């Protein structure tokens, strides 16, 4: 049985965006091939932005729960199922000009994460 993605809406200014969360496992490459994705689009448009989060030595996905992405060692995290987290990421993507006018764009979500969840200067070496 397949799972259906929950399609949600978020409004920014006068624009409504659709969004959904997805998680996939690359069975060929194992865990490093895992990714969590937030897909955003403008209804009625083919413009689509995919924010992709993959694990790394200092980044984990799905550790706290399915939608969690976390930076180590400060344990800052976002839940990609939460509209507030998605709104913060979308706001930053818009500021950075990442949302395409047409077509589909896939970007690494971690730089946006670092902007919306900055490191505490007291935690830096």
Question: What are the residue boundaries of the structural domains of the chain, listed by start?
Answer: 8-117
- Distance between CA atoms of 21 and 33, rounded to whole angstroms? 17
Between 34 and 113, the more confident residue is: 113
Between 25 and 50, the more confident residue is: 50
| pLDDT exceeds cutoff 70 at 122 | no
- pLDDT at res. 72: 92
- Distance between CA atoms of 42 and 1, rounded to whole angstroms? 29
- Mean pLDDT, the chain, rounded, equals 87
| DSSP per residue, 85-103 | HHHHHHHHHHHTT-S-SSS
Q: What is the pTM for the complete model shown?
A: 0.86
- Distance between CA atoms of 103 and 99, rounded to whole angstroms? 10
Contact of 93 with 116, CB cutoff 8 Å = no
Kindly provide the b/e burial profile for residues 59-95, where b requires at least 16 CB atoms within 10 angstroms of the residue's own CB.
bbbbeeeebbbbbeeeebbbbbbeeebbbbbbebbbe
Percent of the chain with pLDDT over 70: 86
- pLDDT at res. 98: 97
């Amino acid at each position: 049985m397949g799972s259906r993605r929950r399609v949600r809406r978020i409004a920014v200014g006068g624009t409504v965006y659709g969004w959904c969360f997805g998680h996939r496992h690359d069975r060929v490459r194992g865990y490093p091939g895992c990714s969590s994705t937030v897909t955003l689009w403008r209804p009625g448009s083919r413009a689509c932005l995919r924010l992709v989060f993959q694990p790394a030595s200092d980044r984990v996905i799905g550790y706290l729960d399915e939608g969690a992405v976390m930076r180590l060692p400060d344990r800052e995290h976002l839940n990609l199922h939460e509209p507030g987290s998605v709104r913060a990421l979308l706001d930053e993507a818009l500021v950075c000009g990442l949302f395409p006018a047409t077509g589909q764009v896939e970007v690494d979500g971690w730089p946006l994460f670092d902007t919306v969840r900055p490191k505490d200067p007291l935690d830096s070496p």
